[in-house]
A and B are shown apart, each in its own frame.
Chain A
Amino acid sequence: MSEIIVVTSGKGGVGKTTVTANLGLGLAKLNKKVVVVDTDIGLRNLDVVLGLENRIVYNLIDVIEGSCRMKQALIRDKQCDNLCLLPSAQTRDKTAITPEQMIKLTDDLSEEFDYILLDCPAGIEQGFKNAIAGANRAIVVTTPEVSAIRDADRIIGLLQANEMPRVQLIINRLRMDMIRRGEMMSVEDVTEILAVELLGAIPDDEAVVIATNQGEPLCGQDSMSGQAFLNICRRIAGEDVPFLNFQAKQGVFKRLSGIFKK
C-alpha cells in the first residue's frame, strides 16, 4: 500500500511547501514513485518551488470534476523522472472540494505511486480538513519560534482527534549558532514541548533560498540542508538513519562559522 503523507504546520511561512518539494524529490531519488499534490487551492505555490509553473495545463480541480484524466494533469519533474506534481487551481477556493473527493483522489493516485505527499494550506479550516482526509501519515513542520510551536501543538491535537495513525515532526530553520548562545530553542526543547516523534531537523541555510529562487529543490545536494532533507527521506522510506548527525551538523556549522569569522 502506498503511503499518503500530509505535510502540515498550522502557521504559514514555516516551510511546508519547501519541505514537500524536497521530500518529494528526495524520495524520488531513492527510486520511489512519488507524486506531490498541492492542496492549497487559490494560493498555489508548490509549482514555483519545483520550477514547473510554466507547464501547468490542468489542475487538481479539473481531475476531481472530471474535466480531464489524471494523467493529463500530472506534470513530470525536471530533475527526476520518478517525481510528478499535481498542481492546485488558482482561480477557485478551498470550498471547491470536499474531504470525500480528496479521499477518492488519493485512492486513485495510490494505484500508481509509492508515496503521495500532500502540501497542506496554512490554517485549520476547510483546506486543512480536505488535505488530511485521505492521509495515513502526517508530518508537522515547525520552526523553533513560539508562534509556530503553539500552532504546531494545535495541529497535532487536531490530527490526533482525527485519528491520524502516525504524526511526526520536522523542525525547520534551526540556527545552531543561536542555539549555542541559548537564544533559540534546540531540537530537544521543541521535541520535549510537542511530545511527538521527531522525523528530522533542517538547519537554516541560504542554499534553500537560492534553490527556491531557481526552482530546483536541493534535496541530496552537497549542502547541509540538502543532506538533512535526504536523511529525512531515508527515514520516511524506513531506513534507520541515526540522529547523530545533529552533532556532526553542529560540528560542520562550527567549522563553517569559524571559517567565515576569519
Chain B
Amino acid sequence: MIHFRNKRSGHVAKDRLKLLLVSERLDCSPQMMTMLQNDMIRAVSRYFTVQEQKVEIRYLKDTTTVLAKIPLKADIQESYPGF
C-alpha cells in the first residue's frame, strides 16, 4: 500500500484522509477499500506494470463516480512482471 516515509506530515494527513473519506462516503470499510485497490492493481498488472505506490482511489460525490488513478511504469528496464 501507500508508504508514508520521506513525506511531510501534511502530505501524509492528506493521503490518509483521502482514503478514509472515500471508504466512509461509500460506506465501505477501509479493509474493503484496500482489497478493492489491490484487486484493481492485480487486474491491471496482468497487462501492464503498475506503480503500486502511486495508485489512488477517489470518490466524486457530485457525480457518484469512483475514480481510480493507476499509473504505469514507463521504463521497461525497471519494470517487472505482474503477480
For the complex, what is the distance from the CA of A153 to the CA of B27, rounded to whole Å?
13
| Structural contact, B8 and A185, CB atoms closer than 8 A | no
* Interface hit among B15-23, B37-45, B70-78: B15-23
Interface residues of A in 163-197 (CB under 8 A from B): 178-179, 181-186, 189, 193, 195
| Structural contact, A186 and B10, CB atoms closer than 8 A | yes
Q: Is A68 an interface residue (CB 8 A)?
A: no
| Structural contact, A183 and B21, CB atoms closer than 8 A | no
| Structural contact, A154 and B24, CB atoms closer than 8 A | yes
| Structural contact, B17 and A150, CB atoms closer than 8 A | yes
Q: Is A157 an interface residue (CB 8 A)?
A: yes
Q: Which of B8, B10, B16, B25 contacts A153 (CB 8 A)?
A: B25
- Contact mask for chain A residues 139-166; partner B; CB cutoff 8 A; 1 contact, 0 none: 0000011100110011001001000000
Return B28 CB to nearest CB of chain A, in Å: 14
| Structural contact, A183 and B10, CB atoms closer than 8 A | yes
Return B14 CB to nearest CB of chain A, in Å: 5
| Structural contact, B21 and A179, CB atoms closer than 8 A | no
Q: Is B5 an interface residue (CB 8 A)?
A: no
For the complex, what is the distance from the CA of A154 to the CA of B62, rounded to whole Å?
15
On chain A, the residues within 8 Å of B21 by CB distance are: 149-150, 153, 193
Q: Which of B11, B20, B60, B62 contacts A150 (CB 8 A)?
A: B20
- Contact mask for chain B residues 37-60; partner A; CB cutoff 8 A; 1 contact, 0 none: 000000000000000000000001
- Contact mask for chain A residues 99-110; partner B; CB cutoff 8 A; 1 contact, 0 none: 000000000000
Interface size class, chain B = 10 to 19
Return A196 CB to nearest CB of chain B, in Å: 9
Q: Is B9 an interface residue (CB 8 A)?
A: yes
Q: Is B3 an interface residue (CB 8 A)?
A: no
Q: Is B67 an interface residue (CB 8 A)?
A: no
| Structural contact, B10 and A193, CB atoms closer than 8 A | no
Contacts known (A153-B21, A153-B24, A154-B24); A193 close to B14, Cβ less than 8 A: yes
For the complex, what is the distance from the CA of A158 to the CA of B21, rounded to whole Å?
14
For the complex, what is the distance from the CA of A184 to the CA of B18, rounded to whole Å?
15
| Structural contact, A189 and B20, CB atoms closer than 8 A | no
Return A155 CB to nearest CB of chain B, in Å: 12
On chain B, the residues within 8 Å of A189 by CB distance are: 10, 14
- Contact mask for chain A residues 11-45; partner B; CB cutoff 8 A; 1 contact, 0 none: 00000000000000000000000000000000000
On chain B, the residues within 8 Å of A154 by CB distance are: 24
Q: Which of B16, B18, B25 contacts A157 (CB 8 A)?
A: B25
With A150-B20, A153-B25, A195-B60 known, 14 other A-B pairs at CB within 8 A are A145-B13, A146-B13, A146-B16, A150-B17, A153-B21, A179-B10, A181-B8, A182-B8, A182-B11, A184-B10, A189-B14, A193-B14, A193-B17, A195-B62
What are 17 of the A-B contact pairs (CB < 8 Å)? Answer: A144-B13, A145-B13, A146-B13, A146-B17, A150-B17, A150-B20, A150-B21, A153-B21, A153-B25, A154-B24, A179-B10, A182-B9, A184-B9, A184-B10, A185-B13, A186-B10, A193-B21
List the 9 shortest-distance A-B pairs measured between CB atoms, nearest first: A182-B8, A182-B10, A183-B9, A153-B21, A185-B10, A189-B14, A184-B10, A146-B13, A193-B17
